[in-house]
Amino acid sequence: MLDAPKNHLNFELYPAIDLRGGLVVRLAQGDPRRQITYSDDPADAARRWLSLGARWLHVVNLDGAFGSSPDDQAPNLAALAAILEVSQEVGAQVQFGGGLRTLDNIQRVLEMGVQRAVLGTVLVEQPELLTQALARWGPSRLAAGIDAQDGRARVRGWQQDGGIPALELACSLAKRGVQWLVFTDVSRDGLQSGLNLPATRRIAEHSGLSVIASGGVKDIADLHAARAAGLAGVIVGKALYEGALKLEEWYS
């Protein structure tokens, strides 16, 4: 076992902006048929969370994650550009993932101004691409994204079993030089049932990675528990959009 979770003094809350067809949406358990649309103006959503104190945003190209065509992804990339413009105005940073499966795609979003690109499916299907990306951009500009269900990694927008336990994948990524990990419990995502903190902490303890928890945040107690567990941060989606968690309360 590697080092226990770090005591992150710079614990971050990441408001989520999930994009589908250029709209801000949330899915339940990653199911594209269970979608709630919250806004048709992603830049306005970004402005809202940043004005309340957020220093990072977590943006997801859902169409890219589902493997849609470049034309179908174009509205999301246009939305990303608008979000980046807003974030740069206030000195905030953006973490972005969803469908980043080539070096050219990764380079494109990093050149647009994304601070950290999140790689998911390629970790399982194209492990050599991760090696190349780490060599080109270094571990500070990249994060691994492991979406897990029943302890196993999912790929292709959570739609397929990746054929490897999430814990085994996380430990192998750490050995390859990855530093950041976004860990999502698919079964809880979008349900506000609370973080799967035991599984997330186990991943952090055994891998030694800086782990950002995702999936199921219910209220501010989840954030305090995640920080106490030594995690690097938490991604919050539905709880913010539904008003169950208020950023001003966290940053006050």
Identified catalytic residue from 18, 63, 185, 189? 18
Cβ pair 193, 201 in contact under 8 A: no
How many residues in total does the chain contain?
A: 252
Alpha carbon distance 17, 188 (integer Å): 17
Identified catalytic residue from 63, 147, 185, 189? 147
In the residue annotation, 147 being an active-site residue is answered as yes
Q: What residue spans of 15-126 are helical by DSSP H? A: 42-51, 62-65, 70-90, 103-112, 121-125
- Burial of 175 (C-beta count, 10 Å sphere; 0-12/13-18/19+): exposed
Q: Which residues contact 251 (CB under 8 A, 6 or more apart)?
A: 52, 53
Stated as kind and residue range, the H or E segment containing 132 is helix 127-137
Active site residues: 18, 147
